[in-house]
Amino acid sequence: MTFLHSFWTNKTNILDLKGGFPHAKFHLMSWALSSMQLRKFYDNLELYTDSFGKELLIDRLGLPYTAVHLDLEGLDFGLPRAVWTPKKMYAYAQQNASFLHIDGDVFIWQPFDDGLLAAPLVAQNLDINMDFYKEVLQTVLKEFEYVPDYLDRDLTKDIIAANAGVIGGNNFLFFKEYVQEAYQFLDRNRAHLGKVNLDYLSTFTEQYLYYALARARGLAVAQVVKENVSPTYFPELFRFTDLPNRCAYIHLMNGKAFTTFCENLAQRLYIDYPEMYQCVLDTIQDLTPKTSVLVEKLIDNEATIFYRTQLVLQAWMDVSLSGEYQSTADFIDNLDSLINDLPESEMKELIQEVASFEFEKYEFMNALPDNEVLKSHLKAESVKVNHILSLPLETLLAQEIALSPFAKFIETEWNWAEKNEFALQKQGFDYLDNLSRASAYYRVALIICIEQETVQEMLLDVATILLFEEIGKGCKIKTLIEHGYNQLKNYLPDKTEVQIRQLLLDKITYFLYHHILCLR
């Protein structure tokens, strides 16, 4: 069986080549980790790309592909650039033997099952009733001129697609037919493509048409991930913190946009392939235009540091603090004076708290060591943590841990935390809702994202708060889990003892990897 990657650029500026990541360096790190993990298990990994793709992945990074095809050079379907699937599907159609195409943000830690490799058709998993498929299908049925006869017109039935994070199989002739069907679908509906979200349409064309045609031909699709994805269930495919022993497959998908997953990706590449990690950074540095900035800080001026405070002031008093300040200290002094002059009230208390929340975060960030010093320290800690987590369970449980010197928690009476990337939230809490809410108790952890020179906020749940209160100056992991279990067992009646203990171990592992906890 042949294993494939397809990588096309359409760019000349390296910083524009993000592939859904917030920065190009994470895009290249992803391809590096994906290819190197695949080559751990398979001797034949081929790359379909263009000339710039070859320069990046082969000439500069030296990734371990066994064959390189420049078929994607100059390949133009005359479609909007936002329709991104045709070049990827082109690689499928070139195969004349069994194959698996793997996305560049898929990482494996064990070989695929033999049964999967023997299947006629393969996909990562099945997507069931995801909203965007229905949205596209409704438009297709209503607006498009050419609707293939194998598409189901009954929108009351389950809408099923096959996720193409991994796609292929032994029936390579089917893929030639399927790709031609997909091209015909796009070509004959050119006049109507603008009537639908083109990103959704791209995924629909690749994944929904694939499954619909397979079903029409009476062909089953074998799955890498046995669980189906639905609006109410999503398999945990992003869990870098379960490595090295409790995770075999990761696919970032829409997680590429999240700050913390990018940090996990960079951390993993550094742990397993430190020379490649540095090679990626050097490549970005070498190819970055002189006038560009490699990484932009997310918090870089007075207005963005205290954005929540200003939002509340604007909503309550129609007061704006926008303007030029000689320093952040001047801005803070001006803000303090404004708040102190407010009449005593519950609203003043709320404004004082949000300002205090943002000031604590600001002070924490400014007290951190120089970025390169901190980065060196945290990378070394990551290697140590990874080693400990690779040991047998009893050895792991006997390890002593403590709060990291870089652990920082902010306690508040209202929820000011930013969007919770750790729960895959894409939108933050509506801070103005606090104006009509009673006070309560919240605790937020600050997570250092060293690769992006920023700090992420994580709203803690009760179980995590209990863990951090118990750990104090340090204790064994086993002792911490025992205490946590005794605290939580009456609050989680739907979970078994084994499940609660595993939940607590998961949390400890997570915060070790994110440098809130450290090994003693």
Q: Does residue 254 share a domain with residue 198? A: yes
So what's the pLDDT on residue 289?
84
Q: Each residue of 149-198: pLDDT tens digit?
A: 999 888 889 999 999 999 999 999 999 999 999 999 999 999 999 999 99
Give the pLDDT band of residue 300 (cuts 50, 70, 90): very low
Percent of the chain predicted with pLDDT > 70:
95
Q: Would the pLDDT of 291 be above 60?
A: no
Q: Does residue 271 share a domain with residue 254? A: yes
So what's the pLDDT on residue 418?
84
Domain boundary (287, 310, 326) is at 287
Tokens standing for residue 106: 């898929």
So what's the pLDDT on residue 303?
56
Q: Does residue 360 share a domain with residue 255? A: no
Q: Each residue of 220-269: pLDDT tens digit?
A: 999 999 999 888 777 788 889 999 888 999 999 988 988 889 999 999 99
Q: Does residue 382 share a domain with residue 257? A: no
Answer whether 73's CB lies under 8 Å from 51's CB: yes
* DSSP per-residue string spanning 199-256: HHHHHIIIIIHHHHHHHHTT---EESS-SPBBTTB------GGGTTTS--EEE-GGGG
**Residue-range definition of the domain harbouring residue 475:** 373-520
Q: Does residue 26 share a domain with residue 126? A: yes
So what's the pLDDT on residue 295?
42
Q: Does residue 417 share a domain with residue 474? A: yes
Q: Does residue 211 share a domain with residue 182? A: yes
Q: What's the number of domains the chain is made of?
A: 3
- Please give the average per-residue pLDDT across 11-38, as a whole number: 94
Domain boundary (287, 304, 324) is at 287
Tokens standing for residue 31: 């391809």
User: Can you give the CATH number for the domain in which 272 is found?
Assistant: 3.90.550
- Bridge-based pairing of strands 475-476 and 517-519 is unpaired
462/145 Cα distance (integer angstroms): 54
